[in-house]
Chain A
């Protein structure tokens, strides 16, 4: 079945069965490989994308539920002001280890800044707790969010 979805500002047709998670429609259907598969059950956040500005676990969102929602992936988030700031802070502080979780972390962090321009530690904990980093880069994730939001970064 062909679904028309809007991804990173572009309307695209993707031919998948009903019930296919957005993650797999993006990855295998459209070749948008930034969103990652980590658990498939909404537990790890590696697959996080934005739908109408909200962070969403794309592994758990069936394609038919996307409708006219505007999907933004890690490939498109750099075109937004906060996305760009977050990416820059991530690079400067060299947040990643293996990097596999980082597309999801960056999507969640950008959504956090969109909602809360100067997040406190508790805001960071709340917004980022759905994103597992197996390499445990949490110290730098916190620091990079502080840096991107123009707050003092503790060592």
Chain B
């Protein structure tokens, strides 16, 4: 899958590309004269420039979707550049892979990909400033020190601001990034501090920072109707009726193609205001052509899954030891069927994009997580040279993986070209929920055995997922190493696939966001079957070893996981707190995106079945350095609540080949009254820092379901949680 950041192979490729396209290849343009920047501004490299008054501008290369990257990546550079954070202004880069390498927000990859590279970029900048000072004062470089954007020469008492040295520094050769010296972490003055995000002031005063806020002179507003059945063609539409609405300038059918992530068939309305276009849509009376997938439904998927579970699998993905023998050796065996639904991303800023086509050139303003593939898609669809397309990345009102696809971008580009005017396309919420790349549903038919010592002797999963032609649909896969693979001697993973016409794609912690629910819930069932404490049972399952598998993408540091399991249990007072009737604690852990997370949820189930989450404790190991606790803790808390929100209420139902839910009335998101306190503890270990945008999510749903079991004795095996079934009156 083109967008599959998560499947093992493409993730590895990504790492490779990242390393190649990283700072080691950065061109250190010797600044200034040919540059468009004001003459007074000296540019030290592609990221750092300064003015004589010692103001520093640092470019943030990646899209900002709320993960705080526009703050955290510049912090890394600023630390090694050794300036005062108050001197720094950050600037959003345009889509410019020739300068910045790959620019995207996905896979929680920005920290691991840039931690080394951007520190070196900052350090190289500092070295150039110091060299300029040493030359100016005619002293050895080694005698110069820096602090807060000032260079000092102690012996002579000389000092100078970076800004005053910048013009000279920019003419000096850039040092070798590979060998430039880096700070000791104990000397950090920016990294690890609580730094409110750089757009904070703008956000709280309503500045137009988002894609939906873009205004271009002469701009018109567009809506785009697509078929409820994904990819169906337009049979007819009453364009004249739409054009008769006041303010409407154009209404036309877009032929479109068949690729679900590209330009699909639909009807565009372009008007003087968005409301006019939106009202005119109602007059279109569109008839959609029949489509091969128009009979698909959730009910039918469920029936197919059950039938497949009883048949021989399509294939066996992993088979260790002898599961039948392992079951025989067990003192207790458990069988259970788990399932989870399709869900939507529901970023709060609806999909939108602004495009202007003029003299064979296209300018695009897009809230996208994945700019370059968007540019390529637009170029291909419109038959243009990618070089004729310029792309500005705006702030995104949430991403969650939705904006890795660029369907709305190619729609805006197409409509702008045909309308012959700059156009801002804005989707309605209904467009957004009914035309997503959904987190795919899935079914797991599990059996497992435990022996008298509390060890898992056998595990079998018949995973029924979605996919066509024997291949997983995007983000519908499960790795052969998915935990507890490699921790259970007799382990088998069988696979069957249901064909689907529903577009699917990565949603925050793809794969993991659903698989953790299944695995950590079933592990809990086995713990209870063994009569063991769920924490002790998990620690035993994790074993005594350290790294299982090869370090890197597929390795699993069992010792790091044991560390966070113990920490979460300790902080929650596991086994020590006397809880009232109807209240219980559950634990779950998960490794994803190179982060080790364990979470304890305390929940109370009322007599009417209503679930209240009382509190969540998170223990996280993402290595030796939290870059920005302000954004980092926010990401962890948000991810946990995101996971709970999905578990408590989210579901996209497919009927007649289309998504049923259309707005927040039938697709409920967590609201403040349901949000528990989330206590976050970082376990600092001597490992490279990794990302925080996703890995806190996966343990939250199973920890909640395990807490519900502790509170009620009722096991949740299907999401979202059915509170009816939890009623005790």
Contacts and interface: CB of A to CB of B under 8 A. Distances in A.
A133 B635 CA distance: 13
Interface in A33-52: 33-41, 43-44, 46
Interface in B267-308: 273-276, 279
B675 A139 contact: yes
Interface in A78-135: 78, 87, 90-94, 96-103, 106, 124-126, 128-129, 131-135
Contacts of B210: 36, 100
**Most B-side CB within 10 Å, residue of A34, A35, A73:** A34
A97 B675 CA distance: 16
Contact of B273 (A29, A92, A96, A134): A29
A29 to B, nearest CB: 7
Interface string B408-437: 000000000000000000101100000000
Contacts of A13: none
Given A37-B350, A134-B398, A20 B638 contact: no
A40 B348 CA distance: 12
Nearest to A134: B348
A33 B273 contact: no
DSSP majority for the B interface?
loop
A139 B678 contact: yes
A140 to B, nearest CB: 7
Contacts of B221: 28
A101 B348 contact: yes
A141 B276 CA distance: 35
A94 B208 contact: no
B206 A33 contact: yes
A73 to B, nearest CB: 7
- Interface size class, chain B: 35 or more
Given A36-B349, A125-B673, A103 B429 contact: no
A99 B210 CA distance: 9
Given A135-B66, A136-B645, A139-B675, A98 B273 contact: no
A99 B637 CA distance: 15
Contacts, number: 181
Given A37-B426, A41-B663, A129-B672, A139 B397 contact: no
B203 interface: yes
Interface of A is mostly: loop
A123 B137 CA distance: 64
B215 interface: yes
A98 B215 contact: no
Contacts of B188: none
Interface string B385-400: 0000000000111111
A150 B717 CA distance: 45
Interface of B: 65-68, 194-197, 199-201, 203-210, 212-213, 215, 221, 246-247, 273-276, 279, 346-350, 395-400, 426, 428-429, 630-631, 634-635, 637-638, 641-642, 645, 663-665, 669-673, 675, 677-679
28 contacts: A16-B275, A17-B276, A17-B279, A20-B275, A21-B275, A33-B206, A33-B208, A34-B206, A34-B208, A36-B397, A38-B429, A74-B204, A90-B204, A94-B196, A96-B197, A97-B66, A97-B67, A99-B66, A100-B349, A124-B672, A132-B348, A132-B669, A134-B669, A135-B66, A135-B638, A136-B638, A139-B678, A154-B677
Give me the 3 closest cross-chain CB pairs, A-B, nearest first: A34-B206, A98-B66, A100-B397
